[in-house]
Amino acid sequence: SVRKMAEQYDTYRSPLVSRYASKEMSFNFSDRKKFSCWRKLWVILAKAEQKLGLEISDEQIKEMESKVDLTEKDFKIAAEEEKIRRHDVMSHVHAFSVCCPRAAPIIHLGATSCFVGDNADLIVMKDGLGILITKLARCVDRLSKFAQEYADLPTLGFTHFQPAQLTTVGKRACLWLQDIFTDLKNLERLKSELRFRGIKGASGTQASFLSLFDGDHSKVDELDKLVTQMAGFGSSYIITGQTYPRKVDNEILSSLASFGASLHKICTDIRLLAHMKEIEEPFEKNQIGSSAMAYKRNPMRSERCCSLSRHLVALSINPLQTTSVQWFERTLDDSANRRISIPEAFLTADVVLNTFQNIVEGLVVYPKVIERHIQHELPFMATENILMEMVKQGGDRQKIHEEIRVLSQQAASVVKNEGKDNDLIQRIKNSNFFTPIHSSLDKILDSKMFIGRSAQQVERFIKLEVEPYMSRYHLDLGGSADLNV
């Protein structure tokens, strides 16, 4: 409607949702998913309580099951009730009771707000980790293929962003790959170890449930176990306060931040390589790099990854601070913060992953530019090899060293003071002193002679570590990543 369109442009909307994030991650943190999850948890609780002997009828459960999906009317009733009660859970208990009048007396029986609030958060985070893990696996797969394709293509290495010994394009990609491969395993571990809060009552003592079952501790334990299993978790926390341990949020957001740091480093490297014209991210036919400078091809995808990765890293401080101020069994100053920081962390990671997959699937390598940069520096790097070869031909090491030193300084002066290419090799070719190795200079200067075991390291790393682990994802690796904007 016209009114809804006006609201769309007249109110702030998070760019993470309106501009960048995927539909699946946006839905995962939507109100519909959250409140439907609450209703499913109430159904699960009722089923488990019925199974253990409480007076809950099949009709009541069927009525609840038929109303798990919220209507627009349900949302409206809950919103109106929350204005009066200032309590989100009780407003939804009321809305659920309105559409389930027979089940109303047993909805939320024995539970506290955190039964639905915290348990639903754990479900949503577990599902969110699943989405991220699949996307991160695709990035690992694409980067592995890129590394293998360029495993033996020599390129200038850098330490301190100063020219260093040669490496290969694939070996450098493996540095990136190793980082995100570590992130993948971290997220997978977190997902597999994530526990349910279960049924713990108002302050974690399970007193309300012990009362419901007339002091039968075994039934309370069984109820906790049943609810946990029915919600899709392998185990629940034995010890909680009113909430699940907020350190769980620390671990998850810290791991997402660690992934953000990995991506920031990788995409910074790509931006620097784009500056040197050695590697470029995808650039579409009609894409505009600058409104003023028509020739520009800005690495906007990598810049976006860096920009959002910084936000992801910054978000990790929120759960640390929240954990530190959870007085005794809990305080409510975690709630508003978690509503923002947790969804934003997942949404941000999702955007970064979508963007990075798109980058890796379209990376363009320019071997001629890379070779030209190598030739600027290789003559100096080759001096030791030249010296060794001259010694093999019977030369005096000290005299050879002095000849190379003099010619190197002359060549360096040409590069720095005259802005010309490095002409050291031509000087060596013109020198009678180096006549014994003139015929073997081309072999000595083959850039592949300077890459060490780079190609072999790429092959070993991918074959021994990455591929065996990635076999579990073979059904999830299809599809390409497109950007919304």
- Beta-bridge mates of residue 167: 155
Distance in angstroms (rounded) separating the CA atoms of residues 64 and 99:
8
Per-residue model confidence (pLDDT) at position 335: 92
Q: According to the model, what pLDDT value does residue 13 have?
A: 85
Choosing from 290, 413, 440, 480, the catalytic residue is: 290
Confidence band, pLDDT 50/70/90 cuts, at residue 29: very high
Distance, CA of 14 to CA of 348 (rounded, Å) = 11
pLDDT in tens, 430-456: 999 999 999 889 888 899 999 999 999
Per-residue pLDDT at 296 exceeds 70: no
Report whether pLDDT(276) > 80: yes
- pLDDT score recorded for residue 285: 53
**Percent of the chain with pLDDT strictly greater than 90:** 81
Average pLDDT for the chain: 93
Amino acid at 192: S
Q: Which residues of 286-306 are buried (b: 16+ CB within 10 A; e: fewer)?
A: eeeeeeeeeeeebbbbbbbbb
Task: Convert the pLDDT of each residue in 197-247 to its tens digit.
Answer: 999 999 999 999 999 999 999 999 999 999 999 999 999 999 999 999 999
What are the structural domains of the chain?
Answer: 2-106 (1.10.275.10), 113-152+168-365 (1.20.200.10), 383-444 (1.10.40)
Work out the pLDDT band at 4, boundaries 50, 70, 90.
Answer: low
Residue 428 has a pLDDT of 92
Judge whether 400 and 390 are in contact, CB under 8 Å. Answer: yes
Find the catalytic residue in 1, 160, 218, 324.
Answer: 160
| pTM, full prediction | 0.91
Least confident among 60-74, 127-141, 256-270, 366-380: 366-380
Q: Judge whether 290 counts as a catalytic residue.
A: yes
Compute the distance between CA of residue 142 and CA of residue 58 in angstroms, rounded to an integer: 51
pLDDT recorded at residue 103? 97
Mean pLDDT score, 367-383? 91
Q: Is the per-residue pLDDT at 284 higher than 90?
A: no
Count CA atoms closer than 13 A to 39's CA, side-chain side. Answer: 31
Computed from CA positions of residues 49, 51, 56, 57, in that sequence, does the dihedral angle turn out positive or negative?
positive
pLDDT at residue 405 greater than cutoff 80? yes
Catalytic residue status for 66: no
Lowest-confidence segment of 16-20, 46-50, 358-362 by average pLDDT: 16-20
**Can you give the pLDDT at residue 480?**
85
pLDDT band at 292; cut points 50, 70, 90: low
3-state class of 175 per DSSP?
helix
With 0-12 CB in 10 A as exposed, 13-18 as middle and 19+ as buried, what is 5?
exposed
For residue range 462-473, what is the model confidence (pLDDT) as tens digits? 999 999 999 999
> In angstroms, rounded to a whole number, what is the distance separating the alpha carbons of residues 341 and 400?
64
Beta bridge partners of 166: 156
The owner of tokens 């980067």 is 143
Q: What confidence category does residue 482 fall into, taking pLDDT thresholds of 50, 70 and 90?
A: confident
pLDDT at 294 (0 to 100): 47
Closest C-alpha among 365, 364, 371 to residue 451: 371
More confident residue, 170 or 20: 170
Residue 282: which pLDDT band, with cuts at 50, 70 and 90?
confident
